[in-house]
Structure 1
Amino acid sequence: MGLKEEFEEYAAKAKTLPENTSNENMLILYGLYKQATVGNVTTSRPGMLNMKDRAKWDAWKANEGKSSEAAMADYITKVKQLLEEASMS
């Protein structure tokens, strides 16, 4: 299985993460996913009052410069970690 196929598999598995997964971890996944699928941030940072979109933008921006392949690999690793933690609790 290639990296892209594995990434798509884990993107589907990420949707099965428990609802109590922290916002911090969900933002990490969001940022890695966007970097893997879109690349570097191309939009301006949302305004102060738009806290949700601003947090998502910041999470994506934190991965700026990372290659698509590296972002995919990091995403897969993070989803595996979160699934493992969920199965232990």
Structure 2
Amino acid sequence: MTREELEILFDEAFSNAQLIPQDSVPQDLQLVLYGLYKQATSGNTKSMHFQNTQDIRNAFKLNAWMQVKHLSIEQAMEQYIEIINNLMKERNI
């Protein structure tokens, strides 16, 4: 699969993610998806931080991203697509 094809599938998965009721996705999986999305769209950047890491929500988000920083952009896209597709299939969307 080419990078362009992967990006198209990733964009479709992101659009499809908006169709999944947020309250039907466990918070830990929401954080995994957040980390994968950030890694897929930003990669490893030196600015991997938030303005206020005292805010517990932002600290969890930062941690989720840091957990997947070892993945390449392509790997993060692939994992994000797979999770979204599985969620859609489980929910018959």
Of 17, 35, 43 in structure 2, the residue corresponding to residue 14 of structure 1 is 17
Of 26, 29, 32 in structure 2, the residue corresponding to residue 25 of structure 1 is 29
1:85 matched to 2:90? yes
Letter in 2 for 1:39: G
Q: CA deviation at 1:24?
A: 1.1
Of 36, 40, 45 in structure 1, the residue corresponding to residue 40 of structure 2 is 36
TM-score (norm 2): 0.82
Secondary structure of the residue aligned to 1:2 is helix
Q: What does residue 5 of structure 1 align with?
A: 8
Q: How does 1:35-74 map to 2 (within 5 A)?
A: 35-41=39-45, 42-44=47-49, 46-47=53-54, 50-74=55-79
Letter in 2 for 1:6: L
Alpha-carbon distance between aligned partners in 1 of 2:26 and 2:76, rounded to the nearest angstrom: 20
Q: Give yes or no for contact 1:18–1:86 (8 Å, CA) kept in 2.
A: no
TM-score (norm 1): 0.86
How many residues end up aligned between the 2 structures?
86
Gaps (5+ residues) in structure 2? none
Gaps (5+ residues) in structure 1? none
Alpha-carbon distance between aligned partners in 2 of 1:87 and 1:4, rounded to the nearest angstrom: 24
Alignment RMSD: 1.8
